[in-house]
Structure 1
Amino acid sequence: EKPYKSQGCGKSFSRISHVINHQRIHTGEKPYKSQGCGKSFSRISHVINHQRIHTGEKPYKSQGCGKSFSRISHVINHQRIHTGEKPYKSQGCGKSFRWSSDLNKQ
């Protein structure tokens, strides 16, 4: 059940907190500020990730080599070097790639 609706677009949400976060897309509200530079963000999770630029914190480690990363998505992508995973397949030639950006280079 998704009883909460966005006033901006009508999209439905199961939690009021989700619709509040979503509404910021429409209002442009960015209530969270970086302590390092003052840049504003619409979500607290975004400012937490951003703060790592200023602190140098890299809490996520590669299991393959121990290299550290500031974002979990970066370590997940990096792990493909160790696993050989190539999840992006070209529709044109059928070749598979490790990075989505490599699809655009063909």
Structure 2
Amino acid sequence: CSDCGKSFGHSSSLSWHHRTHTGEKPFVCIDCCKCFSHSSILTQHHHVHTGERPRVCSDCGKSF
């Protein structure tokens, strides 16, 4: 990273990291207009609006 000197094994990881310096958040929730730096984070956030709990604990069965 030219900003902090941190190094990454993949260029995609550097691109992901670079947004921590730029503050760029190009992914916007259509339900609440909250902005996110990466599409995967927006996808996780969307569960707040749908109530979906896609993961299940293998020990207790609780969804989250």
Shared topology, TM-score over 0.5?
yes
Task: Give the corresponding residue for 1:69.
Answer: 36
Q: Which runs of 5+ in 1 are unaligned?
A: 1-33, 98-106
Mapped to 1, the partners of 2:18 and 2:57 lie a distance apart of 36
Structure with higher strand content: 1
> 2:33 aligned with 1:57, yes or no?
no
Cα deviation, residue 88, structure 1: 1.4
Bigger radius of gyration, 1 or 2?
Answer: 1
- In angstroms, what is the RMSD of aligned CA positions? 1.3
Residue equivalent to 2:15: 48
Deviations 1:38-70 (A, max 9, x none): 111111111111111111101111122111111
Q: Whose RCO is larger (CA < 8 A, sep 6+)?
A: 2
**Matched pairs, number:** 64
- TM value normalised by structure 2: 0.86
Q: CA, structure 1 residues 91+44, in 2 after alignment: closer, same or farther (shift >3 Å)?
A: closer
Unaligned runs of 5+ in 2: none
